[in-house]
Amino acid sequence: MNITVKPQEPKDGILTAQVTVSAADVDAAIAKTYKDIAHKYQFQGFRRGHVPRPIIDGILGKQAVLAQATNDVLNDAEPMILNELDIVPIGRLEYPEEPDTLSAGSDYTVECHMDVRPSATLTSYDAPSITMPPDEATDAEIELQINQLLSYQTTYEDAKLERAVDDGDIISANIDDVENGERYAGQNRMISLDGANLPEALHNGLVGMKPGETKDVAWEDGDTTIKLTLTLNSIMKAVTSELTDELAKKNFGFETADELKAAVKEEIEQDKVRSLPGLKEDRLVEAVGKLLDLDEIPENYKNQIFNELANEFLSTLQRQGLTLDTYLGARGVEIQDFLNDLHAQADDRARQSLALDALASHLGIAVSADDVRAEFEKAKVDDVDAAIDEWTSEGRIPAIRESIKRTKALSWLVENATVEIVDEVAERAAAEKKPAKKKAASKKDDATEKKPAKKKASPKKKPEEAPAE
């Protein structure tokens, strides 16, 4: 089927196009519909597939046949329209609720509408400046990695504190099961009061206790009442060993501490070979997204990106044999916090995609048939020609072309960006050690100090990022 597509200028995020199907294709579509009906249904007195049109019209109604032919034509035309316009719409194409039906021997013309992304600009088309870690491992990075290794050797001992337990403490306690609390019971249990993986009533019961104190706690878990007796043994402190030749040999299999550090340095630098190119791209995409000159991203586009991210994430969990509930439960993350975080990611992704589109348009980036073919070859499909034909018949080639344009725009950013090398780990360590500046006291400050400070609510744990493309 051949069609003619005449688009109008998009207005308020909607593109309208006039689509015309030739009379010859209209007649072919009508004939195909009659043939399909003749094969699909059994008409008394006629062999299947050999039913005259007047018989079908008399039983089903000619208008019903033409309506079915019209619907088939519109469905077949949709991928052709997308290919002709070279556009990736937001959602599906929309036709009139009751479109005119085909008429034998005549061209068929219909208007279709589709939501499209806005054509945006950037506040600057200069490649942005970013900071990046050095290619080689720094002393601060090696020290951080060594400290992480040593943290696995951490032991805990009695801090000899007589104060009350506070949020964030690690404590040793005896928990006796009084009623329905078998899963919490135990002697000398090490418990971290970080607000995760602990029932709120149990957490609140332990906070405020002093070493040697005993307390009963109870709470409702659905239809079950849980009762425990808590005895606080001690508040614990972490003890981390220093790195010595003996520790390096005993715990890590290296003859000396210097050998361990050399191995860590090599591992960090090998990881940087793999990770720094991607990090550079991520930072450039984030930077160019901030240059987008658009006040508000269309809600339907943000929702489309949100659905894509959600499907990607759920597919990843499924491949790992996990459910969303299991994943969130293991991390102590509330579903609403997870959704809020995913929406924020979708907003960023939408803005960054539009920014790359604007840059590609400004640079005049074009996509050739060879570029499209190379994309399929890169994906290592078995039959490139067959895959291209399939994607073309489904109207998905514009999505490939769009992706290639964005990739080329990103490559331009990588080649032209100004990069400042910064030892970020050392900077973070210095910032953490730097004491906060003390303000000069004022009369107002003096008056304020006499009042007890209000206690802030503990922030909820943020979910981890879902995987990005």
Domains: count for the chain: 3
Percent above pLDDT 90 for the chain: 77
Supply the Cα-derived Rg of the chain in whole angstroms: 33
Q: Are residues 24 and 64 in the same domain?
A: yes
Residue 375: give the domain boundaries: 255-433
- Enumerate helices (H) and strands (E) in the chain, giving the number of each: 15, 13
Residue 137, in any domain of the structure? no
Residue 417 has pLDDT above 90, yes or no: yes
Distance (Å, whole) CA 412 – CA 405? 11
**Is residue 276 domain-shared with residue 235, that is, in the same domain?**
no
On whether residue 428 sits in a domain, the answer given is yes
**Residue 217 sits in the same domain as residue 295:** no
**Average pLDDT score over residue span 60-89:** 94
Q: What pLDDT does 281 receive?
A: 97
**Residue 195 sits in the same domain as residue 299:** no
pLDDT, position 170: 93
pTM: 0.75
- What's the one-letter identity of residue 24? A
> Average pLDDT for residues 350-366, to the nearest whole number?
96
pLDDT reported for residue 442: 44
Closest C-alpha among 267, 199, 187 to residue 231: 187
Whether residues 198 and 302 share a domain: the answer is: no
Q: Quick one: pLDDT at residue 388?
A: 95
Query: Quick one: DSSP state of residue 22?
Result: -
Judged against a pLDDT cut of 80, whether residue 436 lies above it is answered with: no
Query: Which range has the worst mean pLDDT, 43-47, 111-115, 441-445?
Result: 441-445
Higher pLDDT, 286 or 240: 286
Which has the minimum average pLDDT: 39-43, 339-343, 402-406, 453-457?
A: 453-457
Indicate the residue type of 11: K
Flag whether pLDDT at 422 surpasses 60.
Answer: yes
Q: State the DSSP string of 232-299.
A: EEEEEEEE-PPP-HHHHHHHH--SSHHHHHHHHHHHHHHHHHHHHHHHHHHHHHHHHHTTEE-S---H
Identify the CATH number of the domain in which residue 46 sits: 3.30.70.1050
Q: Is the pLDDT of residue 454 over 70?
A: no
Tokens of 453: 């400070």
For the segment 337-349, the average pLDDT, to the nearest whole number, is 95
Contacts 24+ apart (CB under 8 A), 310-314: 310/342, 310/466, 312/466, 312/467, 312/469, 313/342, 313/466, 313/467
Binning pLDDT at 50, 70 and 90, where does residue 432 land?
Answer: confident
User: pLDDT digits over 9-58, tens only?
Assistant: 999 899 999 999 999 999 999 999 999 999 988 888 888 888 899 999 99
- The reported pLDDT for the residue numbered 437 is 56
- Comparison of pLDDT for 254 and 194, the residue scoring more: 254
Q: Is residue 217 part of a domain?
A: yes
| pLDDT of residue 244 exceeding 50 | yes
Where a domain ends, among 87, 116, 145? 116
263 and 216 within one domain: no
CA separation for the pair 413, 288 (Å, rounded): 9
Tell me, yes or no, whether 308 and 407 share the same domain.
Answer: yes
Is a pLDDT exceeding 60 seen at residue 455? no
Task: Tell me the pairing of strands 224-239 and 292-293.
Answer: unpaired
CB proximity list for 61: less than 8 A, separation 6 or greater: none
Q: pLDDT value at position 435?
A: 64
Residue ending a domain, among 69, 100, 116, is 116
Sole residue written with tokens 């940087």: 272
> Does a structural domain hold residue 449?
no
Residues pairing with 3 in the sheet: 21
The mean predicted confidence, pLDDT, of the chain is 89
What is the pLDDT averaged over residues 410-426?
Answer: 96
Q: Which of 91, 116, 141 is the last residue of a domain?
A: 116
Rounded mean pLDDT, 144-171: 91
Does position 444 have pLDDT exceeding 50, yes or no? no
pLDDT at 462 exceeding the cut of 50: no
**317 & 390 share domain:** yes
Residue 174 inside a domain? The answer is yes
- 451 confidence band (pLDDT: 50, 70, 90): very low
The DSSP output letter for 183 is G
CA dist 349 and 444 (Å) reads 46
State the CATH number of the domain containing residue 166. Answer: 3.10.50.40
Helices 384-393 and 369-378 sit at what angle, rounded to 10 degrees?
Answer: 110
> Taking 50 as the threshold, does the pLDDT of residue 448 lie above it?
no
61 domain residue, yes or no: yes
Q: pLDDT tens digits, residue range 259-300?
A: 999 999 999 999 999 999 999 999 999 999 999 999 889 999
Q: Is the domain of 222 the same as that of 277?
A: no
Secondary-structure percent of the chain, ordered helix, strand, coil, rounded to 5: 50, 20, 35
Stated length of the chain? 469
Q: What pLDDT does 48 receive?
A: 84
Asked whether the predicted pLDDT for residue 464 surpasses 60, the reply is no
Residue 66 lies in a domain: yes
Q: Considering only residues 412 and 468, tell me which one the structure prediction assigns the higher pLDDT.
A: 412
